Amino acid sequence: MALMITDECINCDVCEPECPNDAISMGIEIYEIDPNKCTECVGHFDEPQCVQVCPVECIPINPEHVESREALLVKYTRLQQAKQG
């Protein structure tokens, strides 16, 4: 499951640097999460780091991108291989 940032985002800039997959970037009005890069920190941490640091709790699971932990681990592996080569 990829995460998403809701319009409750206050653009505080704390989530973007915490993402180990560079899945978070500034959108037109608020930060956005690229579901193709979001692994909910599987492979890196036990919990999503962006959720941990968000002061307004505006980062829920994206219902349009439901993935199992196994699928997230496959995505993590693919992203790591792309970084290496």
Residue 2 lies in a domain: no
Number of domains in the chain: 1
Residue 50 lies in a domain: yes
CB-CB contact of 8 with 58 (8 Å): yes
Query: 3-class SS at 74?
Result: helix
- The CATH number of whichever domain residue 57 belongs to comes to 3.30.70.20
Residue 57 lies in a domain: yes
Say what the pLDDT of residue 33 is: 98
Residue 65 lies in a domain: yes
Look-up of token digits 């991108």:
65
Residue 72 lies in a domain: yes
Closest to 2 in 3D by CA, of 51, 64, 81: 64
Residue 4 lies in a domain: no
Segments forming the whole domain that contains residue 76: 16-84
Say what the pLDDT of residue 23 is: 97
Computed over every residue of the chain, the mean pLDDT equals 95
pTM of the model: 0.92
48/12 Cα distance (integer angstroms): 17
65 pLDDT exceeds 80?
yes
Residue 9 lies in a domain: no
Residue 55 lies in a domain: yes
Eight-class DSSP state of 31 = E
pLDDT 10s digits, 30-62: 999 999 999 999 999 999 999 999 999 999 999
CB-CB contact of 59 with 77 (8 Å): no
